[in-house]
Amino acid sequence: MLKMKYGEKDSIAFTEQVSREMAVAGWEMGLSLAKEKGPAPIMDEDFTVTAEMLRKRPEMKKDGWKVGQIIKGRQLHAQYSRYMQRVAGVAPELVKELSETGARFTHHSSIAPTGTISLSLANNASNGIEPSFAHHYSRNVIREGKKSKEKVEVFSYELLAYRTLVNAEAMPFSTDEKTRLPEYFVSADDITPKAHVDIQAASQKWVDSSISKTANVPTDYPYEDFKDIYMYAHKQGLKGCTTFRFNPAAFGACW
């Protein structure tokens, strides 16, 4: 709807912006809930400063902490977590309050690969940072009380939105100019593995727990273009990365 093509510079910047806003909003809620119900127990725990802590977090030494001193969990979390230091770069007062009060939880967000899942759940589940697996296809569904399978049409949420708001007759692969989808309407197989990695890297900056996604690789994708994708993902600091290449002979194969 924003006319951004998945994986291009403007979409990468937008992905990071949305992820950042979600993170800040989440920690604002974590603070609010801590004030209402109390922080997570670990926030009130006492921890002994060790030489390892000071080696891994030189900023603690700079702040005057010494081996053997006692520090609260909320301070370790808000002031000396690399992730919370990034949050402090955009919301310093929020993080200051979290270091004084503590948060209701220790981690805020996870993102799972949900391309196909989003289509399977009645077109109304978010596909997160995944592109749509397909904007239109058919799948066999088993109805309760019936032995035979029923063939049903599946539409991506964005296609349904586009048809509702812009062009009611739009369809993927249409050769008619009146019903053809715009070029920024891409699906998983249209996107390069590098673009998949770039999107995850942008979002991961603001995700403090698990995150992964699937890079779909077309059956005929050149191996030379694919072979360095895991090294590229490693260089970008990805926590997890999966690639999928459809193999018609075996109905699907993972690399």
177-217: pLDDT as tens digits: 999 999 999 988 788 889 999 999 999 999 999 998 888 88
Q: Tell me, yes or no, whether 82 lies in a domain.
A: yes
Q: Tell me, yes or no, whether 202 lies in a domain.
A: no
Most confident of 95-104, 110-119, 153-162, 164-173: 95-104
| Integer Rg of the chain from CA | 23
Domain residue limits at 95: 18-101
- Residue 124's pLDDT band, with cuts at 50, 70 and 90, is low
Q: Tell me, yes or no, whether 66 lies in a domain.
A: yes
Q: Tell me, yes or no, whether 30 lies in a domain.
A: yes
Interatomic CA distance for residues 156 and 242, integer angstroms: 22
Helix (H, G, I), strand (E, B) or coil at 246: coil
pTM of the model: 0.85
Q: Tell me, yes or no, whether 86 lies in a domain.
A: yes
Query: Number of folded domains in the chain?
Result: 1
Q: Tell me, yes or no, whether 27 lies in a domain.
A: yes
Q: Tell me, yes or no, whether 55 lies in a domain.
A: yes
151: left (phi over 0), alpha (psi -120 to 50) or beta: beta
Mean pLDDT calculated for residue range 140-144: 81
60-91: pLDDT as tens digits: 999 999 999 999 999 999 999 999 999 999 99
List helix spans (H) across the chain. 9-37, 51-56, 58-62, 73-80, 82-88, 92-101, 115-120, 157-165, 193-204, 223-226, 229-235
